[in-house]
Amino acid sequence: MTATPGEAPRPLRVVIADDQASVREGLVLLLGGLPDIEVVGAAADGQQALELVASREPDAILLDLHMPVLDGLGATRRLAAEHPGVAVVVLTTYADDSSVLDALHAGARSYLTKDADRADIARALQAAAGGLTVLDPRVHDLLLQAASAPARPAAEEAPGPPPDGLTQREVEILSLIARGLTNPEIAAQLFLSNHTIKTHINRIFAKTGSRDRAAAIGYAHRHHLG
């Protein structure tokens, strides 16, 4: 995607995976017509997607969650383990909290629903390949609602040390991440420097096994830390 001076940027190489032929072919036509994207393969299931990623070495993959042979979640886990440099962008009909969190926990970098337009999908692919997370507005709202849901009754809470060796300060910062705050906003709220917040977040990612903020939000929700 980078280029030497005087050269045009290399198009983003993308694999598309969807079991519905009409959807798959439509995405190939839509994205293939963009000058900054090159569709290098299209798969009908998760296993084919893995094989194409191994042979075509794309920068990103756009995949559905519900596919035969190997579904999107299984494919995402395999991709995260075997091809960590390939950005996974989920494009699916489902926007329920279980599907979203499962996909982000499996290693998806971005999550879109199928009403996203071509420009939205292209932006999400480019951003994900650059290490950023893009969430469909409905998905983002869903995660914020989950993070701000009322606390469980006291009888269900079993107070104890934070999981995975997190400190109380790290838990505090993780909860603010889950509420959608940016690094500068967290720094201002806790009266800490941006550098200190970045250091804490790097430690949080390492302890929770999170590759990015989306995965950390999923972790916070699963452990009721939001």
pLDDT in tens, 28-81: 999 999 999 999 999 999 999 999 999 999 999 999 998 999 999 999 999 999
Q: Are residues 165 and 180 in the same domain?
A: yes
Number of domains in the chain: 2
pLDDT at 126: 93
Least confident stretch, 36-40, 100-104, 135-139, 214-218: 135-139
Query: Final residue of a domain: which of 119, 144, 169?
Result: 144
Does pLDDT of 26 surpass 90? yes
Residue 2 in domain: no
| Strands 110-113, 12-17: pairing kind | unpaired
CATH code, domain with 25 = 3.40.50.2300
> For 135-180, how does the pLDDT look when each residue is reduced to its tens digit (9 = 90+)?
887 776 666 666 555 555 544 444 567 888 888 889 999 989 988 8
CATH code, domain with 161 = 1.10.10.10
Does pLDDT of 6 surpass 60? no
Residue 24 or residue 132, greater confidence: 24
Query: Final residue of a domain: which of 144, 170, 200?
Result: 144
Q: Are residues 113 and 198 in the same domain?
A: no
Residue 4 in domain: no
Side-chain-side CA neighbours of 55 within 13 Å: the count stands at 10
Strand ranges in 71-113 using DSSP code E only, listed in sequence order: 87-92, 110-113
Q: Are residues 158 and 217 in the same domain?
A: yes
Q: Are residues 102 and 169 in the same domain?
A: no
Q: Which domain holds residue 114?
A: 12-144
Q: Are residues 186 and 95 in the same domain?
A: no
Q: Are residues 41 and 100 in the same domain?
A: yes
Q: Are residues 190 and 100 in the same domain?
A: no
Q: Are residues 99 and 111 in the same domain?
A: yes
Residue 5 in domain: no
Q: Are residues 106 and 208 in the same domain?
A: no
Residue 161 or residue 181, greater confidence: 181
Q: Are 95 and 68 in contact (CB under 8 A)?
A: no
Q: Are residues 128 and 162 in the same domain?
A: no
Please name the helix (run of DSSP H) or strand (run of DSSP E) that holds residue 186, with its range, or none. Answer: helix 183-190
Residue 3 in domain: no
> For 190-208, how does the pLDDT look when each residue is reduced to its tens digit (9 = 90+)?
888 888 899 999 999 998 9
Distance CA 86, CA 17 (A): 14
Query: pTM for the complete prediction?
Result: 0.63
